[in-house]
Amino acid sequence: MMRGHIEKLKRPKIETSTYRNDCAYGLRLFDFSIFRRLVVVALLIGVGIGEVAAADTTVLVADRYVAPDGTIKSDILIVVANGRISRIVPEEPEGVDAKPGVVDHYPGAVVCPGLIDVRSAVGAYGSNQEEAFAIDPGASAIELVDRNHPVFRAAAVAGITSVLLMPGDGNLISGAAAVVKTVVVDGKGARRDSRTSSSRTSRSRSSGRRGVPGVVRDDGPLVFSLGQSPLRFDRAPTSRGGAVAMLRESLRKAKDGVGHQRLVDFVGGRLDGLVVCDEAMDVDAAVNLFGGMNLSLTLVFTGAASDVSAGLSDVFRATATGPYDYTMSPNALSHAAALAKSGNLVALVARAPGGAPDGLRVTAALAARYGLDASLARSAMTFSAARAVGVADRIGSIEQGKDADFVIFSDDPLRLDARVLAVYVDGVRVYSRELEETP
Amino acid sequence: MIALRNGGSARRSICMAAIGLSIVSTAAWAESSRVTVIRADRLYLGNGKIVSPGVLVIRDGRIAEIGVDTKTPDGATIIEIADTTVTPGLIDANAAVEASDLLAPDRRMHPRTWHDFFTPGHHHTATPDCCGSTCPRSMQHVSGTRCMACGFPEANTENAFAVGTKPRVSLAEQSSEVIPDTLVLDTTNLRSPDFDRLLRGGVTTVFVSSDSAAVIGARGAIVRTGGPVDRRVVRAADAVKATMGTDPSWRGGGNRPPVRRFVSFRNRRPTTRMGVTWVFRKAFHDTLRHRDGVETYGADPVSDSAIAVLDKLLRGRIPLRIQARTQHDITTALRLTAEFGLSFTLEEATEAYRCIDLLEAAEVPVVFGPIYVRARGDRRFSSEVEQSRLHTFKTLLESDLMTALTANELREEDGLARQAMYAMRFGLTRAQVLPAVTSVPAKIIGVADSIGTLEWGKRADVVIWQGEPFDTTSRALVVLIEGEIVLDRRAG
């Protein structure tokens, strides 16, 4: 397995961590509430989840967490087993004594689901654009993934645990995107900074059919582009009229079962899609092309949302917008709010690695400042983003059975002074600020 | 009083309409209906009739009453401006609307031909250059890339003009000469400020015409120039536009003379009138062969989706328009269409005065225009405009041909109202010209049942002109589309 980036996580001083060991922590800083939590943990490990505790179990305790609806709620205890969330205890039940297990406790911190950037080229090796044909549904972005690419690490440290790696938008149909984790946690490399030397069972679901590790999905969504980018001097289409006509013809043929299987699946509603639009008229074209087909389609739109936001939710399951920065006009920054107001599920994108790793949070913070509800802004980086690209059954929220991808923020992730304290991927702490930054 | 200059039948119909309407209005229409009342010194109904002074009542976006002293319903919006004339909204049956699908400059582009290679300043650095004021997009250009809006750096520079190069500009699809399966609407930005310019010129409905870069071009669209964007499209896929003459050879930049490094659709037929005719004929031959189940072969194959549209053209289910300027091209169009049993509408028709009898024999509707002495815009690069005459439109209008006037790409003060003024200056009356920009184009593009005249039940697309329309001192003061004010210059 490609483990180069995991090797970087190996730090000799990990064993001296003060955060991790619950006993040491308890002795050093005795606090009744903490004590109570520990009792609960012990109860869970000893009684509730005995069979899981035998495997690799981590317990996360924090004062606040980001709920699936994006609101920040207080007090959570998450039991992680085999890389997934096996149990959540949002409140503190009456405790009984039992042997304490391995507990990561973050007093005052906010546990957030790992952030997701749904329009990125993170980790792509070489060009992400196959340029010969404008209609190229057979291309797969997963083939581009370089698991050793350093930008994966940069994204992970910023709290982004999954990205949608998109084939370039220079074709009308660019192929299938892939959702990959920014850190691979393989079977043997569990919990580098843990004293528990567990032998984790390898999770086959994180390794795609194509043998690339750290994959959430490798078969889509199918990426369409209706902006200027597919128009070229040296191959059809050279114009928007030609572009739309070509797409219309491909979709018509696919309805008759002619064409690449992915396109046939797409028009049949068995594969979801992602359509990139730059301007309002591109969105009009998308609505004309795809409206009334009952597709599972996400709009990625960077233009003026106030022109088009009404009626989009009839055609698109979600709308992704961004990235935002401080140089943009208030009008542009209020697009996310306008989209949400007219009933669209809003996801935010950072287009990493084009921008700074923190671009996703900056985008969300600016969207919130310009009218997007704060809980929607948090959700737009997590659960809404996961729904927008069809992976909400695995990532994007802290719910039982989902992948244990978390970011521990020192405060509300929308506060830009909040720092990433730790990042977990598949239940493994892959980054700890204290461990990595303490000299 | 009612001044009816064209016989009494209109008086009767107006009175009957008014009576019928007053009955309906009390019975069916509730209080909540939106009523607008326009009082003006003159109502030009667009079918040759005039009501003066007149009152126009609009109810729920439709014309409800036309009269002299109609009672104003309660709660009605009243528009009353001194010394004004009301006409139907003007209709331009051949508008070239600025689209926003211009090909973005491609930094990766390498010189494709020797022509590219030797053009000065073509591939130096990536510093932005400005092409001067005539680029329709006012865009910053990048050296080494060709602007699809103005052809920079090949045209629009002083040097380029000096050596007489033409802008190789087209919004049309360049991958084939036969593209009736593409839609102009797809390239049209309905939010384009160009529509506002049309509106300021009093134009409320346009047939958005295809570019002339392809021999058989895209299907045009009929759109309104104002109102909510989602209600603007009247017909999304309308007539196919074919082009005779030299435009398919030089527009679009692909038809380079043969110093060719490689064969591509960027170096393509046609480069002569022979080629244009060949492409046109082959497309329809292929369609007929396809219909007979015979496999088509030969150069420049026509796509299946294009053949499907051409087949409908041959069956008369889709209208055909042909742009032809010179007498030679007009006669070629007549020959080719006779060969395939096609009927068509003639566009531009610059030299129509030289073959009126032929056109009359074929009963071809004509969308003529614009009127000019010296052509402007891209037309000035064409060799087909030299025999333009100012009296051609009068000749057409006085013939048996159904003739509409168009301003094509001209806008606002140079727009359709100014074209009508030129027509009046060169021998026509206002009563002759007004139908040519309202009811006749409505008939030609097939929307006469809903717009084009001020009649009961029609859509209330109305322009209120200062003074007499088409006078040099007159301009559109208020424009209504479906009874809603979309332009209001009453304040100044």
Distant-in-sequence, close-in-space partners of A373: CB < 8 Å, separation ≥ 6: A70, A340
Which segments within A83-227 are labelled E, that is strand? 84-89, 103-113, 115-120, 160-165, 173-176, 178-181, 215-217, 222-225
The continuous run of DSSP H or E covering B79 comes out as strand B77-80
Mutation target vs A (from B112, B123, B148, B186; most A CBs, 10 A cutoff): B186
Q: Is B229 on the interface with A (CB under 8 A)?
A: yes
Domain coverage including residue B146: 103-170
**One-letter amino acid for residue A239 of the chain:** S
Q: Is A242 on the interface with B (CB under 8 A)?
A: yes
The continuous run of DSSP H or E covering A251 comes out as helix A240-255
Q: What is the pLDDT of residue B319?
A: 96
Is B274 exposed, middle or buried, given 0-12, 13-18 or 19+ CB atoms closer than 10 A? exposed
| R_g over Cα of chain B | 24
Q: What is the pLDDT of residue A194?
A: 36
Cis peptide upstream of residue A353 (ω within 30 degrees of 0): yes
Q: What is the pLDDT of residue B311?
A: 96
**One-letter amino acid for residue B395 of the chain:** T
Report how far apart the first and last C-alpha atoms of chain A are (Å, whole number).
31
Residue B189, min C-alpha distance to chain A (Å)? 6
DSSP calls for A29-82: S--HHHHHHHHHHHHIIIIITHHHHTS-EEEEEEEEEE-TTS-EEEEEEEEEET
Distant-in-sequence, close-in-space partners of A29: CB < 8 Å, separation ≥ 6: none
Q: Is B375 on the interface with A (CB under 8 A)?
A: no
Among B464, B467, B475, residue whose Cα is nearest residue B39: B464
Do the Cβ atoms of A232 and B187 come within 8 Å? no
The residues with which B62 forms a beta bridge, in sequence order, are: B59, B459
* Under 8 Å between Cβ of B37 and B81: no
* Under 8 Å between Cβ of A176 and A164: no
Complex confidence, ipTM: 0.73
Q: Is B342 on the interface with A (CB under 8 A)?
A: no
* Distance in angstroms (rounded) separating the CA atoms of residues A328 and A17: 42
Between positions 210 and 229 of A, the ones with CB within 8 A of B are: 228-229
Mark the ranges of chain A whose per-residue pLDDT is less than 50: 1-31, 47-55, 93-100, 188-205
Of the candidates A233, A238, A249, the beta carbon closest to that of B173 is on A238
Of the candidates A235, A249, A279, the beta carbon closest to that of B305 is on A249
- Does residue B125 sit in the same domain as residue B24? no
* Distance in angstroms (rounded) separating the CA atoms of residues A9 and B222: 63
CATH for B351: 3.20.20.140
Tokens of A136: 């190229």
Residues on chain B touching A288 (C-beta within 8 angstroms): 236
- Does residue B263 sit in the same domain as residue B223? yes
CA distances from A343 to A162, A313, B37 (A): 26, 6, 38
Residues on chain A touching B187 (C-beta within 8 angstroms): 239-241
- Does residue B396 sit in the same domain as residue B459? no
Residues on chain A touching B108 (C-beta within 8 angstroms): none
Residues on chain A touching B182 (C-beta within 8 angstroms): 239, 241-242, 244-245
Of the candidates A240, A242, A280, the beta carbon closest to that of B175 is on A242
Among B233, B235, B238, residue whose Cα is nearest residue B220: B238
* Distance in angstroms (rounded) separating the CA atoms of residues A147 and A5: 8
Q: Strand, coil or helix: what is A178?
A: strand
The DSSP code for A124 is B
Residues on chain A touching B100 (C-beta within 8 angstroms): 279, 281
Looking at B170, B189, B223, the residue that finishes a domain is B170
The residues with which B86 forms a beta bridge, in sequence order, are: B43, B464
- Residue linked to tokens 């088009």: A308
Residues on chain A touching B179 (C-beta within 8 angstroms): 241-242, 245
Of the candidates A240, A245, A311, the beta carbon closest to that of B181 is on A245
Residues on chain B touching A245 (C-beta within 8 angstroms): 173, 179, 181-183, 186, 305
Q: What is the pLDDT of residue B3?
A: 43
Instruction: Count the neighbouring beta carbons within 10 Å of the beta carbon of residue A78.
Output: 24
CATH for B469: 2.30.40.10
Closest chain A residue by Cα to residue B308: A249
Q: What is the pLDDT of residue A35?
A: 57
CA distances from A395 to A20, A215, A385, A399, B335 (A): 25, 12, 10, 9, 67
Of the candidates A239, A288, A307, the beta carbon closest to that of B173 is on A239
- Does residue B443 sit in the same domain as residue B476? no
CATH number of this structure's domain A116-388:
3.20.20.140
Closest chain A residue by Cα to residue B102: A239
Q: Is A243 on the interface with B (CB under 8 A)?
A: yes
- Does residue B297 sit in the same domain as residue B408? yes
- Does residue B194 sit in the same domain as residue B66? no
Is B257 exposed, middle or buried, given 0-12, 13-18 or 19+ CB atoms closer than 10 A? exposed
Of the candidates A234, A245, A284, the beta carbon closest to that of B183 is on A245
* Distance in angstroms (rounded) separating the CA atoms of residues B355 and B53: 42
Tokens of B1: 């009083």
Q: What is the pLDDT of residue B22?
A: 46
Pairing of strands A273-277, A222-225: parallel
Between positions 245 and 274 of A, the ones with CB within 8 A of B are: 245, 249
Of the candidates B99, B103, B184, the beta carbon closest to that of A238 is on B103
Mark the ranges of chain B whose per-residue pLDDT is less than 70: 1-32, 98-171, 252-269
Region of residue B202 (left: phi > 0; alpha: psi -120 to 50; beta: else)? left
Provide the CA A109 distance to its chain's centre, in angstroms: 20
Instruction: Count the neighbouring beta carbons within 10 Å of the beta carbon of residue A282.
Output: 27
Percent of chain A whose predicted confidence (pLDDT) is above 70: 76
For chains A and B, what is the number of CB pairs under 8 angstroms? 91
Q: What is the pLDDT of residue B175?
A: 80
CA distances from B221 to B97, B210, B426 (A): 11, 9, 31
Q: Is A285 on the interface with B (CB under 8 A)?
A: yes
What is the torsional sign of CA B246, B249, B253, B259?
negative
Q: Is A304 on the interface with B (CB under 8 A)?
A: no
* Distance in angstroms (rounded) separating the CA atoms of residues B242 and B277: 11
- Cα–Cα–Cα angle for B206, A225, A296, rounded to 5 degrees: 100
* Distance in angstroms (rounded) separating the CA atoms of residues B231 and A366: 34
Q: What is the pLDDT of residue A271?
A: 94
The DSSP code for B385 is G
Q: Is B187 on the interface with A (CB under 8 A)?
A: yes
Q: Is B305 on the interface with A (CB under 8 A)?
A: yes
Distant-in-sequence, close-in-space partners of B365: CB < 8 Å, separation ≥ 6: B345, B346, B401, B402, B403, B404, B444
Q: Is A234 on the interface with B (CB under 8 A)?
A: yes
**One-letter amino acid for residue A226 of the chain:** L
* Under 8 Å between Cβ of A407 and A399: no
- Does residue B58 sit in the same domain as residue B124? no
Q: Is A299 on the interface with B (CB under 8 A)?
A: no
What confidence tens digit (pLDDT) does each residue in A141-196 have?
A: 998 888 888 889 999 999 999 999 988 888 999 999 999 999 988 654 334 433 33
Q: What is the pLDDT of residue B272?
A: 86
- Give me the residue spans of the domains in chain A: 4-113+399-437, 116-388
> What is the number of structural domains in chain B?
3
Q: Strand, coil or helix: what is B463?
A: strand
Looking at B155, B170, B185, the residue that finishes a domain is B170
Distant-in-sequence, close-in-space partners of A138: CB < 8 Å, separation ≥ 6: A175, A260, A262
* Distance in angstroms (rounded) separating the CA atoms of residues B445 and B448: 8
Residue B459, min C-alpha distance to chain A (Å)? 25
Looking at B118, B146, B170, the residue that finishes a domain is B170
Do the Cβ atoms of B186 and A234 come within 8 Å? no
* Distance in angstroms (rounded) separating the CA atoms of residues A60 and B118: 68
Of the candidates B171, B181, B264, the beta carbon closest to that of A239 is on B171
- Does residue B280 sit in the same domain as residue B422? yes
* Distance in angstroms (rounded) separating the CA atoms of residues A282 and A231: 13
Residue A235, min C-alpha distance to chain B (Å)? 7
Residues on chain B touching A229 (C-beta within 8 angstroms): 104
Q: What angle, 0 to 180 degrees and rounded to 10, lies between the N-to-C axes of helices B304-314 and B273-291? A: 90
* Distance in angstroms (rounded) separating the CA atoms of residues B198 and B459: 19
Do the Cβ atoms of A231 and B183 come within 8 Å? no
Residues on chain B touching A285 (C-beta within 8 angstroms): 186
Residues on chain B touching A233 (C-beta within 8 angstroms): 103, 106, 109, 112, 146, 266
Q: Strand, coil or helix: what is A15?
A: helix
CA distances from B162 to B72, B116, B154, B155, B159 (A): 64, 18, 11, 10, 5
Closest chain A residue by Cα to residue B263: A234
CATH architecture of the region A4-113+399-437: Roll (2.30)
* Distance in angstroms (rounded) separating the CA atoms of residues B254 and B139: 22
Residues on chain A touching B305 (C-beta within 8 angstroms): 245, 249
Provide the CA A270 distance to its chain's centre, in angstroms: 22
Q: What is the pLDDT of residue B147?
A: 56
